[in-house]
Structure 1
Amino acid sequence: MDGQGKTRIGKPVFCRFRDLSREHLNVELQVHTSWTDGQATALEILQTAKQRGLAELAFTEHVREDTSWFPDFKAEILSAARRFDDLRVYVGCETKAIDDNGRLDVSQSVLDACDIVLGVVHRFPDGHGGYLDFKQLSFDETSEIEFRLSMGMIASAPIDVLGHPGGMSLRRHGRFPESYFRALMTATLERGIAIEINSSYLVDMPAFLALCEEVNPFVSIGSDAHKLSELGRCRDQLIELGVGRS
């Protein structure tokens, strides 16, 4: 319930890229707090989001299968959100793929508590309970493994958004194959989930947007904000690039 006795309900509604309006851009759907690796509290984030005129905000904290603090995290978010009736607030998580079959490093209780679930690739499982060493992998190997893990999540994981697609390849090699981006967009569209436009990872935003124009997937807008200064960054970049109908 919010401060007026009204219930905050539902999940974010994603639209397809060509249908984006300026209103659709005015969201921040990947935010991290000091509960994990963010640098601000939920209240500080909400205050800054209001100052920057954002309409929707999703707290998508990093979780693992043994995460036990999520109920307290959610309670803090909902309590802080009661002071901001003009800002639609979602509680969610960011969880990583742990095999090619779409299995996630998250508990069912956390999934049940979320309004939005971002599935991402962070580490590459070695099949024996450990992880591969990024330093030992070529660009082709990195991008191919990341693509397989991503496609597994799209096919069967209980996610709403494929977060920072190609992110590990982009961070380590500065690129990700266009054919893989296109295939990920096509697969998310077929399943009806969103692919994230993430201003923190994309090294060539215009090229990614051109593919979005071509495939027309459902999209989620996220800055992967860990600092107050990053809130609304993706929105602002998209507006600067001319995205969104007036």
Structure 2
Amino acid sequence: MDGQGKTHTCKHVFSRFRDLGREQVNVELQLHTTWTDGQATVLEILQTARERGLGALAFTEHVREDTAWFPDFKTEVLSAAGAFDDIRVCVGCETKAMDDQGRLDVSQSVLDACDIVLGVVHRLPDGKGGYLDFKQLSFEETAEIEFRLSLGMIAKAPIDVLGHPGGMSLRRHGRFPEEYFRALMTSTLERRIAIEINSSYLVDMPAFLALCEEINPYVSIGSDAHRLSELGRCRDQLLELGIGRS
């Protein structure tokens, strides 16, 4: 099967948490290459993924509404993937929330070209076309705004995955309210959207996994890999914690 044939959809890889086995965990569904802010090429990623025995990859580059290079990026990924029939390769994007109504910083043409769309919170819009200054916001303010932006994407945005939930609060304050995580998991489950287990952002992986066990949402496995050394890191952490060993 050629690269084109392997990239029709990645949605089948999203399992509910309690159904995760070795095959479902043995994936890397958030990674970045030199097309954006990653440090490895598409080919280097594929070669390293094969060496580490990964079964599926999603190339999820950062995009904006004015991104013009996506067709060339997709062509390169599909061309390179043709030599890696042992790895299921998907083309996707990571795009940020622009308001709490689900508007994304991405064009329709890019959405149409993707197998998988990760919706994330990277900035906190001020409602006037700009962004709030994280330094001027308390933990409570940051978390509440991030929560509203995330709920807006879950409810209205054309996303497959809520990427690194609570990530801005976790990066800047080292925490995100449990009740917010719980509400986001419940909402993604209702919409059949995956919530990401992201080893790059989660400061308390066991606590997050305990909530996953309780709520049993659809989950996506992502390391937010920007370097070859990070590829498959989330898989490895989950296996160490006893998730997906069967």
Alignment of 1:31-46 (within 5 A): 31-46=31-46
Matching of residues 222-233 of structure 1 within 5 Å: 222-233=222-233
Alpha-carbon distance in structure 2 between the residues aligned to 1:189 and 1:245: 24
Percent of counterpart pairs with the same letter? 82
Contact 2:6 2:89 (8 Å CA) reproduced:
no
Shift of 1:30: 0.2
Give the superposition deviation at 1:244: 2.0
Matched-pair contact (CA < 8 Å) for 2:15–2:219: yes
**Structure 2 SS opposite 1:159:** coil
Local SS of the residue matching 2:209: helix
**1:240 paired residue number:** 240
Q: Which moved more, 1:172-181 or 1:15-24?
A: 15-24
Q: Which residue in the other structure is 1:82 paired with?
A: 82
Query: Which SS does the other structure have where 2:165 is aligned?
Result: coil
Matched residue, 1:96? 96
Q: Separation in 1 of the partners of 2:8 and 2:146?
A: 33
- Looking at structure 2, the residues matched to 39 and 169 of structure 1 have their Cα atoms a distance apart, in angstroms, of 25
Q: What are the ranges of 5 or more consecutive residues in structure 2 without an aligned counterpart?
A: none
Q: CA deviation at 1:245?
A: 5.0
- The separation in 2 between residues aligned to 1:192 and 1:245, in whole angstroms, is 24
Structure 2 CA distance for aligned equivalents of residues 234 and 166 of structure 1: 17
* Counterpart residue number, 1:170: 170
Q: Is the 8 A contact 1:117 1:161 kept in 2?
A: yes
CA distances 1:116-168 after superposition (whole Å, capped 9, x unpaired): 00000000000111000000000000000000000000001000000000000
The letter for the 2-side match of 1:144 is: E
* Cα gap change, 1:60 to 1:6, in 2 (>3 Å): closer
SS for the counterpart of 1:126 is coil
Residues paired across the two proteins, number: 245
- Deviation per CA, 1:36-68: give whole Å up to 9, x if none: 100000000000000000000000000000000
State how 1:1-246 maps to structure 2 within 5 Å: 2=2, 6=5, 8-13=7-12, 14-244=14-244, 246=246
Between the aligned partners of 2:36 and 2:67, the Cα distance in structure 1 is: 11
User: Which whole-Å CA distance do the structure 1 matches of 2:91 and 2:159 have between them?
Assistant: 14
Question: How many angstroms apart in 1 are the aligned matches of 2:225 and 2:215?
Answer: 27
SS in 1 for 2:147: helix
The CA deviation at 1:10 is 1.8
SS for the counterpart of 1:153 is helix
* TM-score, normalization by structure 2: 0.98
Give SS of 1:89's match.
strand
**CA drift at 1:9:** 2.2
Give, as a single letter, the amino acid of the residue that structure 2 aligns with 1:26. N
TM-score by length of 1: 0.98
Q: What residue identity is the alignment partner of 2:8?
A: I
Query: What runs of 5+ residues in structure 1 fail to find an aligned partner?
Result: none
| Aligned-residue RMSD, C-alpha | 1.1
TM-superposed deviation, 1:8: 3.7
Measured after TM superposition, the shift of residue 12 of structure 1 is: 3.3
| Superposed displacement of residue 228, structure 1 | 0.2
C-alpha deviation, 1:6, in angstroms: 4.9
* In structure 1, C-alpha distance between the alignment counterparts of 2:216 and 2:197, rounded to whole Å: 12
Q: Deviations over 1:59-86 (max 9, x none)?
A: 0000000000000000000011011011
Task: Give a deviation string over 1:17-38, Cα, whole Å, max 9, x none.
Answer: 0111011100000010001100
8 A Cα contact 1:21 1:245, kept in partner: yes
